[in-house]
Structure 1
Amino acid sequence: METIAIILIISFVGLAALHLYWALGGKFGMSAALPEVDGTPVFTPGAAATIAVAFVLTGFALIALVLGFGAGYAAALTPYAVLLGFAVGGVLVLRAVGELKYVGFFKRVKGSKFAMYDSWLFSPFCLLAGGAFLLLAAGRI
């Protein structure tokens, strides 16, 4: 279980760092990160929203930390982490399925750079990470 937690922690800390980079004006990877229609992004998040996402992703990493290594100093947090682990796992699996238009395995808008990355990287990652959170949370019951 520790290995799964470490992989989740590294993944979500890395994603949080990437979002902070974008919030500070970085451009690398941005063209593949937003759904688009006819070359125009469906939405353009501001710096505050991007920083908020970075904090949420850091929270996911902390939940994985408590679920994977919840002994000792974090033992009191474990019951909350279990509930949050199930919630995060469910949200990530739902993200993988998608909202049926722009995002997820069942999206209808295809042909963009985002759609390709979403099909081959983002949605599979969300499905695997969601399953990993569910596994970690179930292992703490």
Structure 2
Amino acid sequence: MTFVLAQWIAAALVLISLIHVYWALGGQWASDAVVPLVQGDQGPRPAFKPSALVTLVVAAGLLMIALMVSLRVGLIVPAIDHWSLQWLISAIALMMFARAIGDSESMGFFKEHAESKFARLDTWAFSPLCVVLGAGLLAVAWA
């Protein structure tokens, strides 16, 4: 069961990483729905403008997490059952849960600004995905 769960988690993380690479290379598909909006002087504005370099760093981080999951259960090489990998994956799971809870202003389940396209997707897709990934990562880490 854990092996199949790890396959799904790794596949999801690789897919999300590839989307980040697409954005870093200048792709525009769905880019208007992935940055939270904050209230500015002249109405809502993006909370930040991610650079190509930062977007590539996020993509690399997601690939590294997929690699750790793969190493933990033996998707690539025989399973690595080292305590440090177990705790690192657990820490990442906690970060996923923290992302789902959010910053109380623009992202997460408890955000204040809930009327933008990002906010709706965050409530119904991004935050639930973080909860599912976090739970899956904990299951992989401790199985």
- After the TM superposition, which residues 1-141 of structure 1 pair with which residues of structure 2 at under 5 Å, given as runs? 1-37=2-38, 38-69=43-74, 73-75=78-80, 78-139=82-143
Contact kept, 8 Å, 1:70 with 1:78, in 2: the verdict is no
Code of the aligned partner of 1:56: G
Q: Which runs of 5+ in 1 are unaligned?
A: none
Separation (CA, whole Å) in 2 of partners of 1:78 and 1:72: 14
Query: Partners in 1 of 2:64 and 2:111 — Cα distance?
Result: 27
TM-score (norm 2): 0.90
- 1:5-56 CA distances to partner (integer Å, 9 max, x unpaired)? 0111110000110000000000001111100134421100101100000011
Aligned length: 138
SS in 1 for 2:33: helix
- AA of the residue aligned to 1:48: L
Instruction: Compare the two structures and name the one with the higher helix fraction.
Output: 1
Deviates more, 1:31-40 or 1:125-134: 31-40
The CA RMSD measured in Å over matched residues stands at: 1.7
- Of all paired residues, the percent bearing the same amino acid is 33
**What is the TM-score normalised by the length of structure 1?**
0.91
- Following TM superposition, by how much is the alpha carbon of 1:72 offset from its aligned partner in structure 2, in angstroms? 5.5
Query: Which structure 2 residue ranges, 5 or more long, are not aligned?
Result: none
